């Protein structure tokens, strides 16, 4: 209840400050102060609930390791200290995520931080990175589908980005989530799904952090550097996960005839979803380099300008 009240106050105040400047915003919640307050407060409570579960898991792990080690006939202090140190590092990571969430990302990237915390929590509960997709399936579908608003923002001029490139990036993700991963249940346990989910999550957290600090006119160089540097690894990582997931779905699509229309029929029309997926994979060849080299060009432009400004000062 306390978290909700604080989030309601802080988010409404933050969203009102942003909307009063006619800012370029990628999050629909921030366009109206009351909607930003309710939405941000809700996601804050969800994230706090996930973090509480992680802290409880860490505490139980410390107690389990401590008592099992002391009661062991071959008790040794080094393994106990090592395990306690690991739990301490885990707790510091959770605390850092929570503080980072409250100070920097609220309310723009709360949705992707919810997914990140959900992945960490599921990993701690299962002890394996396999099939983690099921733990964040629903919020991922909801948040990524909501990203369709970004195309509208580019089209009406709220955001000065290319409509074509933004449309490809957003639509490819929505297509992958619903038309491939959701429709072909067999690929949901593939490691390639976790690959693109992690790449998307890190990319969006950094991107929305960049937008948040830019709108407040206090952009740390570290976040700017991360925005225009980490994509060098994250973009190929995400694209590789997407292509591998589509490739893994091809045999199941062909076997079940998913979304395919065969002749004869009264409309005299045929559609082969298997061939369509292959064409989608081929379309990455001309379009992905445009996105990638566009970011390379932006990196040179932004970071070189920052270095020149530092030298001037």
pLDDT of residue 161: 75
What is the spatial distance between Cα 111 and Cα 204, in angstroms, rounded to a whole number? 9
The pLDDT assigned to 126 comes to 84
Arithmetic mean of pLDDT, 187-208: 92
Average pLDDT in the 115-136 region?
87
Q: What is the pLDDT, as a whole number, of residue 99?
A: 53
Average pLDDT taken over every residue of the chain: 75
Please tell me whether the overall predicted TM-score, pTM, comes out greater than 0.85 for this model. Answer: no
Q: Write out pLDDT tens, residues 241-255.
A: 999 999 999 999 999
Q: Give 69: exposed, middle or buried? Use CB within 10 Å, 0-12, 13-18, 19+.
A: middle
The CA distance from 197 to 132, in Å, is 10
Q: Is the pLDDT of residue 257 over 90?
A: yes
Q: Which of 150, 242, 273, 274 is catalytic?
A: 242
Enumerate the domain spans of the chain.
1-127, 140-313
Active-site pick, 31, 137, 235, 292: 235
| Residue-level pLDDT at 43 | 54
Active site residue 235: yes
247 is catalytic: no
| Per-residue pLDDT band at 89 (split at 50, 70, 90) | low
Nearest CA to 200 out of 220, 223, 176 is that of 176
Q: Which residue has the higher pLDDT, 117 or 240?
A: 240
Task: Render pLDDT for 36-78 as a digit per residue (tens, 0 to 9).
Answer: 444 555 555 655 565 566 666 666 666 665 555 555 555 555 5
């Amino acid at each position: 209840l306390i978290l909700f009240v604080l989030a309601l106050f802080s988010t409404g105040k933050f969203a009102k400050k942003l909307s009063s400047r006619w800012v370029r915003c990628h999050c629909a919640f921030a366009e109206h102060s009351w909607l930003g307050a309710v939405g941000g407060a809700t996601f804050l409570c969800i994230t706090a609930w996930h973090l509480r579960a992680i802290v409880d898991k860490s505490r139980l792990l410390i107690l389990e390791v401590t008592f099992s080690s002391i009661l062991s006939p071959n008790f040794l202090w080094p393994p106990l200290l090592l395990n306690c140190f690991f739990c301490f590092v885990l707790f510091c990571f959770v605390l850092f995520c929570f503080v980072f969430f409250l100070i920097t990302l609220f309310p723009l990237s709360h949705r992707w931080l919810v997914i990140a915390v959900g992945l960490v929590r599921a990993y701690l509960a299962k002890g394996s990175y396999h099939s983690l997709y099921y733990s964040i399936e629903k919020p991922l579908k909801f948040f990524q589908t909501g990203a369709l608003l970004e195309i509208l923002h580019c089209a009406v001029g709220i955001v000065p980005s290319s409509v074509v490139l933004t449309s490809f990036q957003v639509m490819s993700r929505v297509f992958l989530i619903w038309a491939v991963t959701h429709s072909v249940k067999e690929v949901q346990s593939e490691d390639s799904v976790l690959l693109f989910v992690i790449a998307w999550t890190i990319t969006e957290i950094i991107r929305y952090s960049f937008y948040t600090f830019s709108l407040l006119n206090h952009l740390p160089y570290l976040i700017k550097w991360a925005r225009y540097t980490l994509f060098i690894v994250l973009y190929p990582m995400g694209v590789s996960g997407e292509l591998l997931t589509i490739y893994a779905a091809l045999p199941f699509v062909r076997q079940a005839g998913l979304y395919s229309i065969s002749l004869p029929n009264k409309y005299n029309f045929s559609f082969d979803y298997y061939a369509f997926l292959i064409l989608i994979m081929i379309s990455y060849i001309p379009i992905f380099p445009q996105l990638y080299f566009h970011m390379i060009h932006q990196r040179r432009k932004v970071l070189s300008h920052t270095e020149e400004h530092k030298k001037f000062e």
